[in-house]
A and B are shown apart, each in its own frame.
Chain A
Amino acid sequence: MEKLTLAARDVSIEFPGVKALANVNFEISTGEIRAVVGANGAGKSTLMKILAGANPSYTGEVLLNGKVIDLRSPMAAKKHGIQIVYQEVDTALIPTLSVAENVLLNHMIMEQKSPVLNWRRLRREAQRILARLHIDVNVRRLVQNLTLAQKQMVLIAKAIASRCNFLILDEPTAPLSDTETTELFGLVKHLHETENIAIIFISHRIHEVISICEKYTVMRNGETVDTTAVTESTTTKEIVEKMLGRAFDELFSKEKVEIGERVFEVSHLSDAEGKVSDVSFYVRKGEIVGIAGLVGAGKSELCKTIFGAHAKAGGEMTLHGKKLRINNPTQALQNRIALVPEERRKEGVLVNENVSLNLSAACLGDFCTASFINRSKVDGNARKYVEELGIITPSIRQYVRNLSGGNQQKVAVGKWLAADCELYIFDEPTKGVDVGAKHDIFRLINNITKQGNSVLYATCENAELLSIADRIYVLYDGKIMAELTASETDEDEIMNYAVGGGTPQVAAI
């Protein structure tokens, strides 16, 4: 088999305001399984998208066997045999068509001349490709009825059905269970042994990298730092250290708050989709409890399950020792639990309403006189929180869609402050927020605890957790791996647990 080599030379790309990749060099040949690792925002996905033709504005050059190729469209990349399987499989498959059609869709579009379909041949051909990959799925089934793992395999089969010498798997295991992951790895190994193919594997789960890859490339801050072979002696710790590679900065110094008795307890909580399993923890009065974990570890699902916005499968929650029945957000609010969700534009604020209405949306009933909204009360409340939170807006009548990301986030938080809750759950509150606004939000969270309320703070930014949280629970694959005291731990230790190092901690309650 002819050996093919794909190389990126001094590739850079800029997005408005950020240099996402700076002079990256990367080389891979067929017959290799290579991992690309790095923290969130290190540029892994950006580089892969360039290779897949989905980031056409890059500078520098990409060479295939020493010849410069132009990867300015997904079509161009496919023509050169570079195929990518994104984590969000649903964006690339057609749910209402059969497996056979999905596998052979590219073939139908590009090569099939006759307008009439030969279903028998189509199914046989798809069956042949699936059999070659040892994938056991009925080709007649509609893709929408498959499991996530099966969809992913169909997507890989679709990539193999066309010319494929370089297969990029972008975090394929993030949504999969352990058995599904094992199946997928079987397929990857099989491909590696039988096809003339290079596989680029992106994962946050370092132990997977060690188990399946021959070499790994570390990326940090938009640069490739190092490419090393995986050997017997490679450890998770070693890779994590390379990924972090720096001390965290921009410390937020928070005011000490006296911590009281246990207020809120969760025991053996699981959700219906298997994203949260058997989670137990507690929160004390005036305490900020951090939930650490990588993207896809189940942090958002945990927050939403507590808030009743995500179906619960089992477990109990108590507030002041009283058992809670929360099946929907209304009940959560009645029990004075608030959630500031991650997707703030979608879930946290009413972007097409003004600041004033948003700030009273969570408890509009309190601003009403016999079901009629009392405008002056609503506006008074809005002025109070605009000033208190430092929301930068020309007026309280401004539409929230016109505010900056940081200010929208403040509105989302302010909405719940007005509702006067006891437990505040924050899901990635600093996502997409600049440094200045970040500190405002930290101060605000600090103030919540000063008033004797408690906070649950979920984020994948470990440095933030160290500066704001009192205690930290680390989630991995929906399970709590460790309970850490913020003042006694560091980023390395959190990262080590977050990528699946160590064994799950036995529930303490």
Chain B
Amino acid sequence: MMRRVLLVALVFAAPLAAQDAVPPAEYAYRQLPDARAEAEAHALMTTLRCLVCQGQSIADSDAALAGDMRSLVRQRIAAGETPDQVRAWLVDRYGDWVSYDPPLTPATWPLWAAPIALLGLGGWLAARKLRRKRSGTGDGE
């Protein structure tokens, strides 16, 4: 009985500390009415980095600034901007840091080159091993 009363009390307990004086931005937690625009905006939001939580995308974060950025992204997409334009607008202000989709630059080319080089190395090692097995020598292994 006591447990049930406590549970009911919990349901009505207001999370005082979590209450913000200002309501969240218009489109922070509200989707765009147009489903296609919303899908575009959401896909973009998952590739934009939250400025204050770092390591989370603005789609994942409950930080107030992330909410404001979501609202800004949705409003710009609704106004007819393409996701690439919105991303470029933010990169102009915060640098490549804000985007989870790093551009190809002299500093980032190893990101693309490394997997190809490693795959090549693996292929070469495997080919060597197989060739040795087929020839049956195995040089004493």
Q: Decide whether A and B assemble into one complex.
A: no
A interface list, Cβ under 8 A from B = none
